[in-house]
Homo-oligomer: A and B are copies of this chain.
Amino acid sequence: MKKLINDPADVVTEAIDGFGAAHSDIVVVSRGPLFVRRAGAPTPGRVALVSGGGSGHEPLHAGFVGHGMLSAAVPGPVFTSPTPDPIVAATQAVDGGAGVLYIVKNYTGDVLNFETAADLAEAEGITVETVVVDDDVAVKDSLFTAGRRGVAGTVVVEKIAGASAERGDDLAAVADVARRTNAATRSMGVALAAGTVPHAGQPGFTLADDEIEIGIGIHGEPGRERIPVEPVDAIVDRLLAAVVDDLGVRAGEKVLLFVNGMGGTPSMELYIAYRRAAEVLTAQGVEVSRSLVGDYVTSLEMQGMSITLTRLDDELTALWDAPVETAALRRGR
């Protein structure tokens, strides 16, 4: 294993320390227990958003802490859920008296630990609502999940719910917007090569030189099938067909088209894939009214990508367009 790291045991804390130092205008890092929150005091009466999960998916989640998006992010060890304690501490740090929304990717460990944290926070007098993101259409149940996995669509939920909180919606309304966004969002991914978890020291799975995995999970969990490598247009057609079918997108509707890199894929390849997906949707009469292309929900240095669609109405579009100022996503106020 060659990596730009020191001791594998220190990767998460050292990375978060660097992140905090590089973005001290936006975030503050707590080291005991470990979480990242917005710089400045919570806004009284404003709903706060807390997300988190295993590390290794950067910029998710800490990269989305800031104005218009998350209030705090709680990173666990690589590919491992954070325990309830730091989640509760983050909740207390960002609560502005209007309650806290947890945005949780659907993995058994995350769901359980955020549930426990919610109970503990409620016992401290903080109202908590939880939205579980489950956008991955590849498989119904998976290695670490009951039901569908939560993958790249999490960014869309965090962005849109963050804008809802920022405009002053109450907790029930922010949770409703987040659930509506999740219900309007589907994703599916493909891997060409696995990433290596530092403390494991070897790639999470192995594919032959001419083989790709359709429907891969963001921890390398099995997808739908392993097939010989194809031109990217054919790969995009497979992913997109599964997503369009599951979401039931029809001609005349508007969508956000999000092509997400898994960490080790050149930008050029993501745009080639975007081009095909946009062409196919347009040919189907679906309007690609918003776009996002880049590494937003990664799997360390995995080579691969995912395609996400969110069906947009006027309200979701306005919330998507609202100003945001985080390390990984910025749009002018």
Of the candidates A4, A7, A193, A271, the one having the most CB atoms from chain B within 10 angstroms of its own CB is A4
Q: Which residues of B contact A305 (CB under 8 A)?
A: 4
- Interchain CB contact (< 8 A) of A15 among B210, B271, B291: B271
- B-facing residues in A244-275 (Cβ within 8 Å): 263-275
Type the 1/0 row for A289-303, where 1 means its CB is closer than 8 Å to any CB of B: 001010100101101
Least CB separation from A195: chain B residue: B266
* Stretch binding the partner chain, chosen from A52-60, A109-117, A156-164, A168-176: A52-60
- Interchain CB contact (< 8 A) of A210 among B2, B23, B59, B264: B2
Q: B295 touching A21 by the CB < 8 A rule?
A: no
Type the 1/0 row for A171-212, where 1 means its CB is closer than 8 Å to any CB of B: 000000000000000000010110100000000000001101
Type the 1/0 row for A110-132, where 1 means its CB is closer than 8 Å to any CB of B: 00000000000000000000000
Known contacts A6-B233, A303-B301; decide if A295 and B275 are in contact (CB<8 Å).
Answer: no
A140 contacts chain B at the CB level, 8 A cutoff:
no
* A148 CB, min distance to chain B CBs, angstroms: 24
A325 contacts chain B at the CB level, 8 A cutoff:
yes
Q: Which residues of B contact A192 (CB under 8 A)?
A: 2-4
Q: B272 touching A5 by the CB < 8 A rule?
A: yes
15 contacts between A and B (CB under 8 A): A2-B192, A2-B209, A3-B192, A4-B232, A4-B270, A7-B231, A15-B272, A15-B275, A18-B272, A18-B274, A18-B275, A195-B266, A266-B300, A267-B298, A332-B333
